[in-house]
Structure 1
Amino acid sequence: MKILVIWRLLTVGGVNAGWRNRAIYFKKYGIETEFLYTTDHGGAHIMQDVSTIYLTKDINEIVAIIKKNRYDAIIVVDTKNAFKWIRKAKFMGPVIVEARTPELLKLTPHLGNFRGIHPEKIIVPSHYQKRLVSIISQNVPIQVIYNGLDTSFFRPLAEEEADMDSIPIQPPDKKIIGWIGRIDKRKNWQMLIEIAKKIKKDRKDVEIWLIGGAQSIQREEFIEKRETENLTDIIKWFPVIPYQQMPSVYAKIRMSKGCTLATTKCESFGNTFIESMGCGVPVVAADIMPMNELVIDGKTGVLFSDQMVEKAVKSIYKILDNDKKQQKMSINAIEHVQKNFSIEHVAGQYVELLKSLDITKQQKEDGGEMHD
């Protein structure tokens, strides 16, 4: 079986990280996954050792790719123009839609008009996202399939296994808070600044690692704010860390008796949460969906309410100031991810869906009607 995933953005983020894990797992079941992107945002290294990648905005080239490769199914991730390309290529197989954008206004254009294509299902990564999608699209079945994690890769590395000499270097006598993601409005880096200011006033034993954001829209604003607030000593910024290095980064955070922090206002899932917990690092995040679908408050991390800086800082200190609690949360987090978010557990649901669609397609080819 051969499938094509169409998404406009080749980014370093949760969507591509999740699909990387799926593509590796699919191979075990004879499912070959290829990817088509229109815009490069520095994410090629995530997929380069896994799958074939096409990167083009040329409609004729896109149509030729779809025709030439004779895919068994196409999966469209938040890319409204893809339905036009599929129709122009006269693709007659099953189409699945993935809805990943967690903001209603931005998601609506991608689900509002399928241009004559009739999707078999809409796949969402959380129950929060299912609620959102149900507002827009009421005629297509919606199924929740969580992102899966390769727990043989994202696991708690021992010191001798981790690349301790790579950037970022773990400082002595500092507890590390990891903040991972794009530097934009939704990820709410402004709140991180305020949290850092409060922690800097309180103590000297903390360092914050901001991982990512090399091509983020608001990176210049962040750089200026970090400097004007005199936070360059506590917030260390690492714009580009290869995906393959992240287990070592999480290992350093865990060994420092630290945690990861999310200040995001909304997410459709939150891949960094399960990566962090899978590597034994507790997560501090807001007590909103889908964060509270992923993090168990008091067991695998701490959830704070109301997006308030004071409450976020107190939640962080619950972990940093109690090594035994941090270690217990670390163990709980690993078990939680292995049980609920391992790629074997989660991607198996997707394999079942794809296999059933393939059977449906064959039945149509054998005598039934195919959609336009």
Structure 2
Amino acid sequence: MKILVIWRLLTVGGVNAGWRNRAVYFKKHGITTEFLYCKDLGGMHMVKDIAPVYLTKDKKEIHRIIKENHYDAIIVVDTSQAYKWLDEADFEGPIIIEARTPEIVKLKRNLKGKERITPQKFIVPSKYQKRVLSILVDQPTPIEVIYNGVDTSFFRPKAINEIKLDSVSSIPANKKIVAYIGRLDARKNWRMLLKIANLVKMEREDIEFWIIGGANSVDRDLFEEEWKKQELTDIIKWFPTIPYQEMPNVYAKIKESGGCTIATTRAESFGNTFIEAMACGVPVIAPDVSSIPEIVVHGKTGYLYREGHVRGAANQIYEIIDRPQVYGKLSRAARNRVKKMFSLSACAEKYIELLREVTKGDDT
């Protein structure tokens, strides 16, 4: 079987991390994955080594790709232009729509024009996202929930002698690392992270924040200005670009310090960084919104706080770093939950079953 995944943005984010993992797994099971993107926002390193990648906005070139490659199925991820391309290219195979955007206004925009094609399935990465999508689409097209999966042999806890201590940044002496991982934009809510850091700075001297990502984010310059203006460069280290392949080593350093990850997001349809961190035995702190309670179990694999509550978020950080006697329990429970719920084998197998269903089992 050969499939094409169309998404307009090649980002360093959860959608591409999830598809990278799937493509690796699919290849082992006789399914070739190819990717079509319109714009590279720094994510090429994530997929170029595992699958063919087309990067173009040229309509004629896109029509050629669709017509000449004889795909058994095409998956469209939040790209409204793709419905027109598929219609104009007379693609007659099964089409699956992946609806990943958690904001309903943007999701509605991404679905505009879908009436030009007849999707066999909608796929969403969480039960929360299924509820959002159900508001916008008419039945009877089925909506399937397939969680993103993570390779738990790659993302795993590491012993101290396995950690590359000289890469990215060293583990700070006598400090716990609290890491924010992701884009710098309004939805990810980096401004709240700065508020948390300001509060922690007034109260503690044993915490260091790491911000990982944001090299191509819309608010990059604005963040850098505020980071310096608020005099937070001493408590926050910023790493705009860390290769995806290096992330298990980063999580290992966070765990070795006795730290955690923190999210300040306003909404998530899933959240790959949560399962990556948990797979590495790192507890997660996140707001109690959208799909996050499906992933993070409060008090067992991390802690949830009320959305926008800076004091609540800071208190949850202290809850983790001040109780080393329960850290190991949190760490093991986080790892076990990922292995049970979000392992690549389980999640990708479900996707393979769906692909075989829509292609009538023809995987030759």
- Please indicate, yes or no, whether the TM-score normalized by the shorter chain is above 0.5: yes
5 Å matches for 1:112-123? 112-123=112-123
TM-score of the aligned structures, taking structure 2 as reference length: 0.98
CA distance in 2, matches of 1:51, 1:9: 16
Unaligned runs of 5+ in 1: 363-372
Counterpart secondary structure, 1:230: coil
Write the distance in 2 (CA, Å) between the matches of 1:348 and 1:258: 33
Q: Is the 8 A contact 2:84 2:113 kept in 1?
A: no
Give the secondary structure class of the aligned counterpart of 1:333: helix
Report the residue type matching 1:189 in the other structure: W
Q: Tell me if structure 2 keeps the 8 A contact 1:18–1:147.
A: yes
Runs of 4+ in 1 over 4 A off after TM superposition: none
Q: Which residue in 1 is equivalent to 2:212?
A: 211
Spell out the pairing of 1:165-314 with structure 2 (5 A cutoff).
165-314=166-315
**1:85 Cα deviation after fit:** 0.8
Paired residue secondary structure (1:3): strand
Corresponding residue for residue 44 of structure 1: 44
Task: Report how far residue 113 of structure 1 moved.
Answer: 2.5
Aligned partners of 2:278 and 2:284 also within 8 Å: yes
Write out per-residue CA displacement over residues 91-138 of structure 1, whole angstroms, 9 at most, x where no aligned residue: 100000000011011110222321421000100000111011001112
- Write the deviation string for residues 251-295 of structure 1: whole angstroms up to 9, x where unpaired: 000000000000000011000000000000000011122110000
Q: Percent same amino acid at aligned positions?
A: 57
Structure 2 letter corresponding to 1:344: S
Residue type at the aligned position of 2:341? N
Does the 8 A contact of 2:10 with 2:41 survive in 1? yes
Code of the residue aligned with 1:166 in structure 2: it is S
**Does the Cα contact within 8 Å between 2:196 and 2:314 map onto a contact in 1?**
yes
SS where residue 162 of structure 2 aligns?
coil
Cα separation, 2, equivalents of 1:55 and 1:324: 50
Separation in 2 of the partners of 1:345 and 1:260? 25
Shift of 1:48: 1.5
Per the TM alignment, residue 66 of structure 1 is displaced from its structure 2 partner at its CA by 0.8
Give the Cα–Cα distance (whole angstroms) in 2 for the partners of residues 222 and 36 of structure 1. Answer: 31
For residues 98 and 65 of structure 2, the distance between their equivalents in structure 1, rounded to whole angstroms, comes to: 20
Residues of 1 paired with 2:290 and 2:269: CA distance? 9
Q: Give structure 2 stretches of 5+ with no counterpart.
A: none
Give the aligned residue type for 1:45.
H
In the TM superposition, 1:17-96 aligns within 5 A as 17-96=17-96
1:299-326 per-position Cα deviation (integer Å, ceiling 9, x unaligned)? 1001111320001101110001011222
User: For residues 168 and 217 of structure 1, what CA distance do their matches in structure 2 show?
Assistant: 25
Aligned-residue offset at 1:70 = 0.2
Q: Which residue of 1 aligns with 2:330?
A: 329
Q: Which moved more, 1:110-119 or 1:242-251?
A: 110-119
> What one-letter code is carried by the residue in structure 1 that aligns with 2:22?
R
Contact 1:168 1:238 in 2 (8 A): no
CA contact (8 A) 1:93 1:361 kept: no
Amino acid in structure 2 at the alignment position of 1:251: A
- TM-aligned CA deviation for residue 28 of structure 1: 1.8
Matched residue type, 1:316: I
Once residues 266 and 293 of structure 1 are traced to their aligned partners in structure 2, the CA distance between those partners, rounded to angstroms, is: 13
Q: Count residues in correspondence.
A: 362
| Amino acid aligned to 1:236 | K
Give the Cα–Cα distance (whole angstroms) in 2 for the partners of residues 112 and 69 of structure 1: 26
The one-letter code of the counterpart of 1:219 is R
What letter matches 1:21 in structure 2?
Answer: N
Range with bigger deviation, 213-222 or 158-167:
158-167
Say what the alpha-carbon RMSD is for the aligned residues.
Answer: 1.1
CA contact (8 A) 1:94 1:361 kept: no
